[in-house]
Amino acid sequence: MFFIKYSKYYIYDEPGKQHVDAISTSADFGKAWPHQPTRRRVRAGLCQRVLLAAIVAGAYLVVACGSARANPPPVVLTESGPVQGAQQGDLTVYEGMPFAAPPVGKLRWRAPQSVAPWSALKVLDHFGPNCMQKGMYPSDQPTGEVSEDCLYLNLWVPARAAGEKLPVLVWIYGGGIANGSGSIPLYHGNVLAQRGVIVVTFNYRLGVFGFLALPGLAQESPTHTSGNYGLLDQVAALNWVNRNIAAFGGDPSRVTVFGQSSGSISISALSVSPLTKGLFRYAIGESGGLFEPMQLANDLTAKGAQESGSAFMRRAGASSLNALREISAQALLNVQFTPGIILDGEVIDEPPVQAYRAGRINPSAFMIGSNRDEGVIFLEGEQVTPANYAAVLGRDFPSWAIKFAAPSPGDTPQTAYAAAAQFQGDIRFHWDMWTWARLASQAGRSVHMYEFDHPTACASGAGCVKATPHGAEMPYVFGHDPHSAWSKQDQDLSNLMVSCWTEFAKTGSPAGCGLPPWPAFGVQPAKMLIADSPRLVAMQLDATMRHLDRLYWAADIVSAHPVLAIAMTLIVVLLFAGAIIWLLIKLVRCMRVSRTPSPKTTP
């Protein structure tokens, strides 16, 4: 029940080692060849440096001669080798930059490894393949080519003044950690980058390729862990940004991660991970967090995840880990597997809710929010009535949770549908975002909370007319909708959101982005309603949110202090039993008194 949100849509540097900053202009070639931050460092001699400088300078001259009327895209020397992007208006775009070695063959289900260095100029003018998956999230985006060789990132870099270091926005896509890509048209960063930020998107492994845990995988791992390979890819991409973004004109000390759905869930986990300290300063979470007591979900513990992985291995018909690695990627994709972020002891060494309560939080500022009608996407095609209300919700949630926390279905199909949509949205997203904002604020972090409300027509047969569903904010955040023509009202709203997201990346606060005064989430919590008429509104919990909060609080206390919980339960039982006995004694006494004949009076 705690993690049903996953079921639908849902290389490091060696410690203590230094590296040489990458060089970004041809005038600087030959100053230094950046060391690889891995055990196999490239120790280039003077002759090799001169040869590399000649190759890159020659390539630069060839491009310059062929483009006499326009400045050619700059050549950037990364830690792995020289690269060149493509000019798109005032932006330079780098598509398909490898940030880790292809996780294929023996590297399948291993932590991401360093890229093999190159010396010839690599032109980054096309996106890399998407990671292995069926379909795409969002579902209206192109599926494209899929491959296990998918660990590539993309950059949109605006023009800048000499010596200027730009803030960086790094996008982590959603899709239930089973679908998604950093290169689909919706996530192109051209509009955001025009506001003076560098935008980075990347791929990470999904599904069974990104989240399979097995005892054998843990045994062969230096950290004796397994399962969170997709999260390790995210960490590797952030490490790449930290080491290389200065060469592109970015400021590695001003990195903001932003993500939606399971991308936002990932951010809530990475924000307390020991592996991401110093890799990003600010974080934006859109509709997704990991604040339930995940230690109570067996499949999300290291032991439980390995048991689930062993069951997958049997379903795949593999007798050994080597045999499993020999099965084709497509065949593995056809075997049922439910991915989940795992409490593995490495990427996530404690439940995020506990880390937040203790103040062990990496970023200094957050912008957190959700959409008004998150839950309607999970009811598409459903005809909800008071009679089938419990059955519809029962497909996703246990009956006791529905009885404890779900609102009343009312007397009509309309009220039943509204109640079901509210419950779906609250339990999957709204409670997490409120809890995230509250705990981060209590830990002394700056937090700005929002709610996006811009209704559009619902999907056919969805049971509603207009709504602001899960994912509806993304086109407005990225500044374009690849499928729809916008009205002036749409464009104005998007301009506002682009301004707020980029302002937050620059300063850690959306203040001054064009919205009414937006105070930080505090003692009297409020959120900004981002709509056609934006306004600040008080944060009010509905009954479902209050019930969920009590439920998760009790579950967390029980898991953290089982002996105390048992003792308190016994005390409550004893008190209840004592109260019952006392009432029975009083009742018996009353009955005796009522049966005693009253004394007769003598004449």
List the catalytic residues.
261, 374, 470
The vertex-340 CA angle with 335 and 343, nearest 5°, equals: 135
**How far apart, in whole angstroms, are the C-alpha atoms of residue 386 and residue 394?**
13
Q: Is the peptide bond before 138 cis (omega within 30 degrees of 0)?
A: yes
Q: What is the 3-state secondary structure (H, E, C) of 257-302?
A: EEEECHHHHHHHHHCCCHHHCCCCCEEEEECCCCCCCHHHCHHHEH
**How far apart, in whole angstroms, are the C-alpha atoms of residue 526 and residue 538?**
4
**How far apart, in whole angstroms, are the C-alpha atoms of residue 341 and residue 388?**
32
Q: How would DSSP label each residue in 103-157?
A: --GGGTTS---PPPP--SPEE-BSPPPBPS-SS-SSTTS----B-S---EEEEEE
Work out the widest C-alpha separation in the chain, in whole angstroms.
136
The vertex-132 CA angle with 104 and 106, nearest 5°, equals: 15
**How far apart, in whole angstroms, are the C-alpha atoms of residue 133 and residue 25?**
39
Please return the burial class of 410, using the count of CB atoms within 10 Å of its CB with bins 0-12, 13-18 and 19+: middle
Rounded to 5 degrees, φ, ψ at 158 are -85, 165
Handedness of CA 455, 507, 183, 480 (dihedral sign): positive
Residues 265 and 211 sit within 8 Å (Cβ to Cβ): no
Q: State whether residue 591 is helix, strand or coil.
A: helix
Q: State whether residue 30 is helix, strand or coil.
A: coil
The closest alpha carbon to 255, from 496, 508, 18, 473, belongs to: 508
The closest alpha carbon to 339, from 187, 182, 131, belongs to: 131
**How far apart, in whole angstroms, are the C-alpha atoms of residue 493 and residue 518?**
17
Residues 293 and 3 sit within 8 Å (Cβ to Cβ): no
Token pair of 485, please?
A: 């023509």
Token pair of 236, please?
A: 């590797």
Rounded to the nearest 10 degrees, the angle between the axes of helix 543-560 and helix 562-595 is 110
Give 343's DSSP letter: B
Residues 34 and 77 sit within 8 Å (Cβ to Cβ): yes
- Rounded-to-10 torsion of CA 64, 65, 69, 70: -10
Contacts of 313-319 with CB under 8 Å at 24 or more apart are 313/214
Bridge partners (DSSP) of residue 369 are: 286, 450
**How far apart, in whole angstroms, are the C-alpha atoms of residue 195 and residue 225?**
41
Spacing of C-alpha 428 from chain mean position: 13
Q: Residue 133 corresponds to which amino acid?
A: Q
Residue 150 CB-half CA count within 13 A: 27
